[in-house]
Amino acid sequence: MISIRNLTKDYDGSCVVDDVSIEFPQRKVISLIGPNGAGKSTVLGMAARLVARSAGTIEFKGRDVGSWNSRELARHLAILTQSSHVQMKLTVRELVAFGRFPHSGTHLSREDWEKVDQAIAYMELEDYSERFIDEMSGGQRQRAMIAMVLAQDTEFVLLDEPTNNLDIYHATQMMKLVRRLCSELGKTVILVLHEINLAAFYSDYICAFKNGRVAAWGTVDEVMTRECLRDIYGVDFEIREIDGRPLAIYH
């Protein structure tokens, strides 16, 4: 479990995360939503120890996240950020193999390569395993990056806007894959999303941020209400139920 208490982040005297406290349940999909600049990605980055906190505590599996050895932490928690761009000339299989570094370093065993190939197959990338990353479409590259995270074989997966720059088809396919990571593999997935209806359709819980604070936290039904969304975004929505899920239509 990731437990956050009184978390604060200041940049140049400006408070971007203000006294945030929340506990993320295990084996669920949890979406962080809210307007631009609300603090979502910053909270995710602090939870993964990529961003230094100004105050507050973050406990991972009962220990302060700062007390973990980096390689040990990476065996339990993986994060894919918006800035995870590949600069080297790598094939898909070579990229996915980086996910095994926390376990075996640069000396991959037969078991490591089996994990790599399993991740590639799970993301339906077998036909692209020897293709260079820079020759693939944006959606295919995103799937390859997720495969690398999957090969890391952690209980917790943190994703910062995994649907960013994807068209609606590929964004939906990405969210289906996120759902499978939880439902089929038992992983806890925490992700930042701007598309609130994707969050509503594929999440178990939603945490909504506004002005650096938690504005709402709960199940999809509890957060996806007209009043709650109006308070968070400052605009009016109509809520309709589709396939048993509340979806928002902007007016």
Whether the CB-CB separation of 181 and 157 falls below 8 Å is answered with yes
pLDDT at residue 170, as a whole number: 80
pLDDT at residue 142, as a whole number: 84
pLDDT at residue 81, as a whole number: 86
pLDDT at residue 143, as a whole number: 86
pTM over 0.85: yes
Whether the CB-CB separation of 4 and 27 falls below 8 Å is answered with no
pLDDT at residue 84, as a whole number: 57
CA-closest candidate to residue 34, choices 19, 23, 24, 44: 44
Angle between helices 138-152 and 110-122 (to 10 degrees): 140
- Cα-based angle 62, 75, 82 (whole degrees, multiple of 5): 100
Give per-10-residue mean pLDDT for the chain (251 aa): 95 92 96 95 95 96 94 93 73 95 90 94 92 87 89 94 83 89 93 95 97 97 96 93 89 70
